[in-house]
Amino acid sequence: MSPIVHAELSWLLAQGLTRRRDRILVSCAGVAPDLDGLSLLAGLDAYGKYHHFLTHGLAAAAVCAAICGALARSRLAVAALAFTAFHLHLLCDLAGSGPGWPILYWGPFARTEWYWSGQWPLSSWQNGVIGAVATLVCFGMALPLGRTPAEWISTRLDGVVVRTIRRRFGRLAPVE
């Protein structure tokens, strides 16, 4: 699954949080497992060896949740949601990163591989549908909640996006 979809799903998970900063931290936690993808900078061999190994496991999830919690306003809630978003990323990768692409959940301490026999390719229709639905739901949050993932960039941009969506689809918004 693409990092954008991981971020969108994590942002949706964080909608119960009132502070933008806290929602962004949970979104970052949902993308954090792909930090080991930077191993590609050391070449394809390094990528094949370390992606899904260094930061796709329990130890990295705990560290990520602790960091997000420490940086948050609602510390306990953000730490719990960051841990959950991190694991949602792992679940999505287990399902949709491609056949034969395992998760090494106990890494970097052990190389025990976790597979799912029903894994679908990264470029599959399943990932496309999940991505499209996640994007629609994210931008649909403009109607009831008055925010979209554009808040990752700036509140001003988010305001423009929300006003535009509400102008076009406002009749669908709940009465306030």
pLDDT tens figures, 30-88: 999 999 989 999 999 998 888 888 899 999 999 999 999 999 999 999 999 999 999 99
- Give dist(CA 110, CA 120) in Å, integer: 25
Q: Which residue segment(s) compose the domain that 23 sits in?
A: 3-120
Residue 101, in any domain of the structure: yes
Residue 78, in any domain of the structure: yes
153 has a pLDDT exceeding 80:
yes
Confidence of residue 176 (pLDDT cuts 50, 70, 90): low
- Of 99, 86, 124, the closest CA to residue 1 belongs to 124
Residue 32, in any domain of the structure: yes
Residue 106, in any domain of the structure: yes
Amino acid 175: pLDDT: 53
Q: What is the pTM of this model?
A: 0.92
Q: What's the maximum distance between 2 C-alpha atoms anywhere in the chain?
A: 56
173 has a pLDDT exceeding 60:
no
Residue 89, in any domain of the structure: yes
Phi, psi of 103 (to 5 degrees): -105, 135
- Helix axis angle, 58-71 relative to 75-96, nearest 10°? 150
What percentage of the chain reaches a pLDDT higher than 90?
79
Residue 171, in any domain of the structure: no
